[in-house]
């Protein structure tokens, strides 16, 4: 029979009590572990506190309650007013429909009377054959400034090597990143262009990612040697999220393709150069490292999507060392230049010769510089992310890192102390209190790759003066929308880096660009399933030559945790079983 009254005693068996305690302990441990994971992923769920209301001891409680009640009454009256307006609008629309129906009925009656008169005249009715064809009115599409124009420009294949591009071009547009402009300049390439008598223009792209002071100083520094033009591509060709923008500002509609900054400066310079050279067609070649924005600049100049651009959310794009695999040519007319035309040549990212004379530390530093400068693929998935973070710490201001990640003070250039602080802040603690330095390093690389870690550099100090007023007036289109360092520091993680040096490595000028066929992609997919380390290295955005170098030096790369020492080799003893013999003897 079921128990009628409750048990008067709380005594239970030891087995059952210990079992309940074990389940409670496991549940709490699991909940605590999940809370740590959610905190690292940024999914911290705060408990919504219940509104306690107005305390009774508050002296103005009655007045506040009266105000709340008055607001409720006003809201109810406003709701009734909206309902009445909707009813009146519906009634008016219904009256309009009724009048239209009456007018149509009258028109039909007049037509019938006319038909009867015609019948009375003795003329027969031809039926459907008497109806004449009339065009159906189509509604005009609404014009929208946010729509990307349909591409009406043809794309032709370009030269097969970089040397052929230099021979064919009249102007060499060297595209660099505004966050570290000098690191994207190839000294060997510009020297060859100067020897051939080509006009060289340094195009400082991604001008919206740096403070205003940094861009002004860099333009002043570069214009002492080159012709420098600032630029910001159209919103339609920007990544999904831009540094400094709030996540809620992600636009769901199509972004405009005609809001680029610096387009007038480029077209004005090309128009002046064409008039000086007196040529009907100019050939302009865009060169630069991978992910510097060459294709996006051409699309912004044309105002339409003609060439494919790099999408950081696409996993297929990260498998190749660059988005543009072969040189492509696009012809356009120069605005305001009469019959003058320009032929743009888009080239793949620059590849450099391998330097065999470097030691291990120099080779790791060069590799980290290339990975962080190109910023292509999921660089946080590197097998060993420590060397890349070490390169960042060696160039970054310590105080900026402390403010960006809310860390305690640590010695300048001390990567271990910096990562220990990151691990503690994000709860990356392993068993027995061991800090997860590799996980902390991946957080820093993820911020670097996504743009959450906004970095900038300042040019080397020189004795010359600042920017001329005329140059400031020309660059006003680009500079007017930029924020200062003080404004950016309040909104994002702003870190100052030491400027990089001009790349002195020789470029691969005579190596032909090849199109990746489907077989190589299939093999890449199978390789992705079989070897994660190689896939991680390929997603880091390195060139083909550097990827090959990494595979050769994979055994020499330092590991985060060294493998345990293998036990000494001992001679295995031979064992002999007499079970079978014993069975035979028993059967015998």
Q: How confident is the model at residue 107 (pLDDT cuts 50, 70, 90)?
A: low
pLDDT digit string, tens, across residues 256-293: 778 888 888 999 898 888 888 887 888 899 998 888 88
Mean pLDDT score, 305-319: 73
| The residue to which tokens 């309009």 are assigned | 96
**Which of 347-351, 390-394, 522-526 is the least confident region?**
522-526
pLDDT for the residue 131: 47
Q: How confident is the model at residue 84 (pLDDT cuts 50, 70, 90)?
A: very high
pLDDT for the residue 110: 61
pLDDT for the residue 15: 95
Query: pTM of this prediction?
Result: 0.61
Which of 333, 388, 310, 329 has its CA nearest to residue 550? 388
Residue with the bigger pLDDT between 521 and 187: it is 187
* Identical topology for domains 155-240+254-346 and 360-452+492-497: no
Which of 445, 406, 411, 448 has its CA nearest to residue 426? 406
Average pLDDT over the chain, rounded to an integer: 76
Does the pLDDT of residue 503 top 70, yes or no? yes
DSSP 330-371: EEEEPTTSTT-EEEEEE-PPP-B---TT--HHHHHHHHHHHH
Q: How confident is the model at residue 515 (pLDDT cuts 50, 70, 90)?
A: low
Residue with the bigger pLDDT between 169 and 240: it is 169
Mean pLDDT score, 391-400: 91
**Which of 42-46, 111-115, 238-242 is the least confident region?**
111-115
Does the pLDDT of residue 551 top 80, yes or no? no
In a 13 Å sphere around the CA of 169, the CA atoms on its Cβ side amount to 31
Q: Contact at 8 Å (CB) between 310 and 467? A: no
Residue with the bigger pLDDT between 464 and 264: it is 264
Residue with the bigger pLDDT between 203 and 121: it is 203
Q: How confident is the model at residue 21 (pLDDT cuts 50, 70, 90)?
A: very high
pLDDT digit string, tens, across residues 422-458: 999 888 888 888 899 999 999 999 989 888 889 999 9
DSSP 528-559: HHH-HHHHHHHTTT--HHHHHHHHHTGGGSPP
Distance of CA 525 to the CA centre of its chain: 23
- Token pair for residue 129? 């054959």
Does the pLDDT of residue 557 top 70, yes or no? no
Distance of CA 558 to the CA centre of its chain: 30
Pick the CATH number of 360-452+492-497 from 1.10.260.40, 1.10.1580.10, 1.10.510.10, 2.130.10.10: 1.10.1580.10
Does the pLDDT of residue 115 top 70, yes or no? no
Buried b (16+ CB within 10 A) or exposed e, 311-322: ebeeeebbbbbb
Q: Tell me the angle at which helices 415-426 and 386-395 cross, rounded to the nearest 10 degrees.
A: 110
pLDDT for the residue 467: 54
| The residue to which tokens 């214009």 are assigned | 223
**Could you tell me what percent of the chain has a pLDDT over 90?**
15
pLDDT for the residue 138: 43
- Token pair for residue 131? 């109806």
pLDDT digit string, tens, across residues 174-199: 999 999 998 888 888 888 888 888 88
Q: Sketch the domain layout of the chain as residue ranges.
A: 155-240+254-346, 360-452+492-497
pLDDT for the residue 150: 47
pLDDT for the residue 24: 97
Residue with the bigger pLDDT between 162 and 4: it is 162
In a 13 Å sphere around the CA of 167, the CA atoms on its Cβ side amount to 9
pLDDT for the residue 582: 47
Q: Which CATH superfamily is domain 155-240+254-346 in?
A: P-loop containing nucleotide triphosphate hydrolases (3.40.50.300)
CB-based contacts of 578, cutoff 8 Å, min separation 6: none
Q: How confident is the model at residue 7 (pLDDT cuts 50, 70, 90)?
A: confident
d(CA 331, CA 447): 38
pLDDT for the residue 552: 47
């Amino acid at each position: 029979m079921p128990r009628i009254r409750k048990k008067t005693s709380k005594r239970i068996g030891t087995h059952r009590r210990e079992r309940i305690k074990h389940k409670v302990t496991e549940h709490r441990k699991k909940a605590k572990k999940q809370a740590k994971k959610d905190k690292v992923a940024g999914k911290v769920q705060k408990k919504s506190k219940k509104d306690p209301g107005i305390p009774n001891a508050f002296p103005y409680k009655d007045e506040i309650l009266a105000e709340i009640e008055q607001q409720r009454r006003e809201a109810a009256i406003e709701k009734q007013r909206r309902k009445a307006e909707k009813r009146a609008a519906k009634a008016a629309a219904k009256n309009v429909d009724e009048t239209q129906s009456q007018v149509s009925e009258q028109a039909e009656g007049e037509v019938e009377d006319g038909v009867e008169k015609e019948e009375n005249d003795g003329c027969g009715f031809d039926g459907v054959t008497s109806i004449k064809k009339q065009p159906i009115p189509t509604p005009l599409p609404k014009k929208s400034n946010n729509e990307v124009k349909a591409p009406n420009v043809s794309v032709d294949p370009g030269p097969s090597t970089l040397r052929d591009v230099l021979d064919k071009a009249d102007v060499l547009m060297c595209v660099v990143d505004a966050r570290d402009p000098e690191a994207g300049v190839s000294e060997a390439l510009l020297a060859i262009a100067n020897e051939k008598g080509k006009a060289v223009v340094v195009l400082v792209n991604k001008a919206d990612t740096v403070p205003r002071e940094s861009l002004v100083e860099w333009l002043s520094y570069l214009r002492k040697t080159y012709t420098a033009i600032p630029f910001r591509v159209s919103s339609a060709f920007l990544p999904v999220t831009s540094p400094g923008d709030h996540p809620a500002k992600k636009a769901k509609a199509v972004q405009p393709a005609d809001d680029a900054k610096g387009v007038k400066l480029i077209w004005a310079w090309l128009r002046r150069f064409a008039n000086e050279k007196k040529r009907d067609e100019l050939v302009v070649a865009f060169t630069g490292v991978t992910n510097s924005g060459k294709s996006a600049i051409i699309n912004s100049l044309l105002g339409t999507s003609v060439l494919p651009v790099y999408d950081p959310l696409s996993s297929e794009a990260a498998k190749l060392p660059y988005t543009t695999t072969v040189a492509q040519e696009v012809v356009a007319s120069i605005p305001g230049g009469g019959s003058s035309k320009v032929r743009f040549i888009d080239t793949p990212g620059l590849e450099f010769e391998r330097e065999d004379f470097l030691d291990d530390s120099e080779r790791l530093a060069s590799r980290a510089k290339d990975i962080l400068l190109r910023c292509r693929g999921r660089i946080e998935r590197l097998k060993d992310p420590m060397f890349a973070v070490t390169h960042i710490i060696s160039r970054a201001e310590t105080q900026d890192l402390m403010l960006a990640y809310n860390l305690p003070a640590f010695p300048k250039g001390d990567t271990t102390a910096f990562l220990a602080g990151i691990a503690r802040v994000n709860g990356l603690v392993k068993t027995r209190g061991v800090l997860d330095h590799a996980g902390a390093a991946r957080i820093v690389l993820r911020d670097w790759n996504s743009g959450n870690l906004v970095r900038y550099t300042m040019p080397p100090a020189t004795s010359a003066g600042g920017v001329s007023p005329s140059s400031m007036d020309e660059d006003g289109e680009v500079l007017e929308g930029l924020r200062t360092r003080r404004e950016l520091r309040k909104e994002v993680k702003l870190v100052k880096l030491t400027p990089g040096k001009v790349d002195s490595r020789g470029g691969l000028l005579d190596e032909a660009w090849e199109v990746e066929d489907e077989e190589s992609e299939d093999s890449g997919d199978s390789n992705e399933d079989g070897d994660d380390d190689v896939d991680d290295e390929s997603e880091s955005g390195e060139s083909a030559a550097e990827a090959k170098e990494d595979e050769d030096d994979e055994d020499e790369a330092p590991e985060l945790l060294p493998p345990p020492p293998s036990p000494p080799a001992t001679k295995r003893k031979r064992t002999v079983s007499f079970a079978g013999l014993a069975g035979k003897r028993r059967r015998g």
